[in-house]
Amino acid sequence: MTRMIAFFLVAGIGIILRWVFVGEFELYQLLLASAFLIVSPIFLQINRVQRNKDTSYIPEPPTGAWSTSIKERWLTGEKKLYHDHQLVATYKREYQNIIQMATADLMNGSGLWHLELHFQFQNGRSYKVIGKESWRGDARHPILEGNTVVGEIVTVAKTKHAVKRLETNHLFIGDQSFEFRAKTTSSVIGIYKGEQCVGQVSAQHNGVRTLDLKPGHVTEAEESLLLIGWIVFSYRFKK
């Protein structure tokens, strides 16, 4: 929606400058520019419909996997994370102000800028992830429980990753680290501990994502933060 409004403003400024400096004004140009403004509420409504589908998501018959619905990534609606049919956590995006929200929508990829996610687990524990981005594409996402940093998600823009068309995040939990890795042309996310694949995220129908973890490779203490790492990756890279 914000991008449509921005297009209208740019086109409007161009029309005004042409009138001021050239002395020419074409009404049809203004009408064409107004089309951007007219369709912007349609894009907003599409986002709202997708958000509501995420909020009302209930998994299909049990598969033993973790699952969530991520059709919409810009608005602040609550989403749900399940293991089989059991609700494990809810999470939602937050913004500090309307400027951050507009910037996130305006940029190419709403998960790249001002990404702040709040997680509330059913066991009573809550976490907050705050994104710290750079123009080079690097980003650091501290994971906070209260005021304590309990983990960190790091994205490093590397030339070799671009050549190989790889998207990667690293999750650091104490002295342990996990890597989330996906091809830019694939919706499948591999989760690695060292060189061993310990889990895989797959895209299902209608925005649903499922995670299968190999037993015995992730401790109970690491599990919640690994789930957070997965969600952050999905927001950042639209997976």
In the numeric block, which tokens belong to residue 184? 């830019």
C-alpha distances (whole Å) from 235 to each of 55, 153, 223, 238 are 16, 13, 19, 5
Residues 6+ apart with CB under 8 A from 117: 91, 92, 93, 94, 128, 129, 228, 231, 232, 235
Buried b / exposed e along 14-41 (16+ C-beta atoms within 10 A): ebeeeeeeeeeeeeebeeebeebeeebe
DSSP 145-158: ETTEEEEEEEE---
Pairwise pLDDT comparison (75 vs 117), residue with the higher score: 117
pLDDT over 90 (residue 162): no
pLDDT at position 164 is: 60
Q: What is the pLDDT of residues 204-223, one digit of tens each?
A: 888 899 999 998 888 888 99
Task: Sort 61 into a burial class: Cβ within 10 Å, 0-12 / 13-18 / 19+.
Answer: exposed
pLDDT at position 6 is: 67
pLDDT over 90 (residue 76): no
Of all helices (H) and strands (E), which one includes residue 48? helix 27-55
Structure pTM? 0.85
Between CA 113 and CA 132 the distance in angstroms is: 8
Helix locations, 60-191, DSSP H: 98-106, 159-163
pLDDT at position 220 is: 84
Between CA 139 and CA 50 the distance in angstroms is: 27
In the numeric block, which tokens belong to residue 181? 């890795």
| Tokens 């309990």 -> residue | 150
